[in-house]
Homo-oligomer: A and B are copies of this chain.
């Protein structure tokens, strides 16, 4: 009897798209005159970017995300394309972004996926807010809040679903989830 093909939902920002890198680039460029040294991924260790800037600069970070080009120009995370293409031969792959948090991101995110992940059918893109709505066996996400929402139905008679934490500077100290540090780790985990 054929076994069911499992479904993996994949977050966008910090998992396949380097939004933090773009944030740091713009922030260090615009506020160099205020900084004793540039903000780096390493210097964030355990903090969200939002908690690492002075309170009056949070609006500037938000402004970056609202600009037309922000989500359109993000670098692709290393090996994400190659590994996702391989995963797609063995799993149902859906891209699931919490895009409802930034409604101006819908179109640039859609265009970005068409450019960098043309092998993902558009029918397998999901823009949502609360990832408890995803029917999948696995969710790979950097955000522990979304992983907890995703796993929240586990005690209620649903098949077990597992949230997998993709390492980002903010979540390095977090425990309680299986962790992947990069796309090679994803490849090893799902295509051993």
Chain A positions within 8 Å of B, measured between CB atoms, are 4, 7, 9, 94, 96, 99-101, 103, 106-107, 110, 121-130, 132-136, 153, 156-159
Contact = CB atoms under 8 A, between A and B. Distances in A.
Nearest to A96: B133
A62 to B, nearest CB: 16
Contact of A159 (B7, B101, B133, B158): B158
Copies in the complex: 2
A106 to B, nearest CB: 4
Contacts of A103: 106-107, 110, 122
A107 to B, nearest CB: 6
Contact of A135 (B107, B121, B129, B132): B132
Nearest to A156: B4
A52 B99 CA distance: 36
